Amino acid sequence: MIIVTNREPYSHEKTKKGIVCKKSIGGVVSAIDPLMQERGGLWIAWGSGGEDYTVSNSNDEVLVPDDDPKYLLKRIKLTKDEIENYYRGYSNRVLWPLFHLFVEKMHIKEDYWKYYLKVNEKFAKVVANYSKEDDMIWIHDYHLMLLPDFIRKEIPKARIAFFWHIPWPPWEIFDTLPQHEELLNGILKSDLIGLHAKSYVKNFAECAMRNQNAKVDTKKCIVKCDNHKTKVKQFPLGISYKDFSHSKESLEASKNAKNLKELYEATHLILGIDRLDYTKGILNRLKAFEAFLEDNPNYKKKAVFTQIVTPSRSEIKEYNIMKKEIDETVGKINGRFGTEEWTPIKYFYRKIPQQSLLEHYKAADVGLLTPLRDGMNLVAKEYIAANEENGVLILSEFAGASEDLEEAITVNPYDIKATANAIKKAFDMPLEEKQKRFNSMKKKVKKRDAKWWIKNFLKEWEKIYA
């Protein structure tokens, strides 16, 4: 098994305690790392950590995790220009906004595309050097859309699968990208393409149908392009359920969750957790909480909204601007409603340790996860797994997870008033209804966990060569 991603699973960084090996955040790593720890193999990715090349061998390889090595990580060095144009530029200022339906945030620049091509070729050379014909090459995410084509040029019979971790937009959006055809032709050299939601598969098939070179068998969901067949299928990603529900840390967290509510002076606790990103709808959510306090003054000095934001992509302009807006909005709302004893919004801008994360999940009466657009939103599933039965989930209808978690209160996050009303509805919900909805979601999150996702994906992939 060869995994290829842009973000490496572990980076090495300098700290006061010396060089430490840090696990990367995000859905790709949390889903794939357990598989690699179990099966072993090779993971190829950009080595982005400050001390990555101090600890790697002369081939830029290192065994990870460093405390209990299970698989080999081959790091690819990127130059400053490559990072700026391929990663920050084309991946995060063109593809990321486009695939999340923020067309107006796309920054089209010739150099971005030039470097995207170059870095995809660079990855392909490394993959070709490390692989044999019958290896399973599993590529992830939007940074590497051209890779299947480049690998196939070097190894025509390569076994390639691709998992797409973000939404796939309708054709009318995809069409606005100048290089949409090249990208589609590139990814269609995979044998299998997985996406999180049914609607993304439908959109993908529609985009493929519009492609001049491709023919789509809509019943079987097979795309034929340049004499190559690609199966396209939905595989909704799950979480490692037991880590959140009954691990040692989880049991410990259950004891402390009560204290957290007392510490925050909250009788009603709402929780939002996101990576810093304009797609996550953090500003709208803060405004919705403000509207809730305006409409329901009886919840003053009772309700507290905890918003945890994990720093991410801070060198990119759009993210910096948004961070300032969040800071200001939190300050404005707390200044307007807060009293000496009560701070309505507890806001943390940092990556919090797992133990504290679990305490927050367990203590929260309401999980408020309202992205403007999100491939899946695993935080919603983590909340359901960790919370202990009376929690209410308010979930954006624009998160892939809303296809799985129908029992949540779904909201349109652009509708501030509706989101505010959903908070009230969650607080007012009768206990019996809360438990019914919650237990039904818990069952699904437990059953369709990360292992189930991997098993189904691999089964489908292996079927192709049987």
Q: Which of 19, 21, 23, 26 binds ligand F6P (CB under 6 A)?
A: 26
In the complex, minimum distance from the CB of residue 88 to ligand F6P, in angstroms, rounded to a whole number: 9
Residue number closest to ligand F6P, CB atom: 26
Q: Is 370 helix (H, G, I), strand (E, B) or coil?
A: coil
Does 166 engage in binding with ligand F6P (CB under 6 A)? yes
In the shown chain, the binding pattern of residues 353 to 382 toward ligand F6P, with x for contact by CB under 6 A and - for none, equals: ----------------------x-------
Contacts of 35 (CB under 8 A, 6+ apart): 1, 454
Select from 23-31, 53-61, 263-271, 435-443 the region that touches ligand F6P (CB under 6 A).
23-31
The C-alpha atoms of residue 175 and residue 239 are separated, in whole angstroms, by 33
DSSP string, 259-284: HHHHHTT-SEEEEEEEES-GGG-HHH
Contacts of 68 (CB under 8 A, 6+ apart): none
| Beta strand residue intervals within 144-262, DSSP E | 159-164, 192-195, 214-217, 222-225, 228-234
Q: With respect to ligand F6P, which residue has the nearer C-beta, 5 or 245? A: 5
Q: Which of 9, 27, 169, 236 binds ligand F6P (CB under 6 A)?
A: 27
In the complex, minimum distance from the CB of residue 164 to ligand F6P, in angstroms, rounded to a whole number: 9
Go through the chain and tell me how many residues it has: 466
Does 313 engage in binding with ligand F6P (CB under 6 A)? yes
The letter for the amino acid at 337 is F
Q: Which of 2, 3, 28, 223 binds ligand F6P (CB under 6 A)?
A: 28
Question: How many residues bind ligand F6P, per CB under 6 A?
Answer: 10
Q: With respect to ligand F6P, which residue has the nearer C-beta, 2 or 426? A: 2
| CA proximity to 18, closest of 41, 60, 46, 50 | 50
Strand 222-225 and strand 214-217: the pairing is antiparallel
| CA proximity to 100, closest of 403, 324, 377, 457 | 377
Where in 134-163 is the site for ligand F6P (CB under 6 A)? 141
In the complex, minimum distance from the CB of residue 213 to ligand F6P, in angstroms, rounded to a whole number: 27
Does 165 engage in binding with ligand F6P (CB under 6 A)? yes
In the complex, minimum distance from the CB of residue 83 to ligand F6P, in angstroms, rounded to a whole number: 11
User: Can you give the binding site for ligand F6P, defined by CB under 6 A?
Assistant: 7, 26-28, 141, 165-166, 312-313, 375
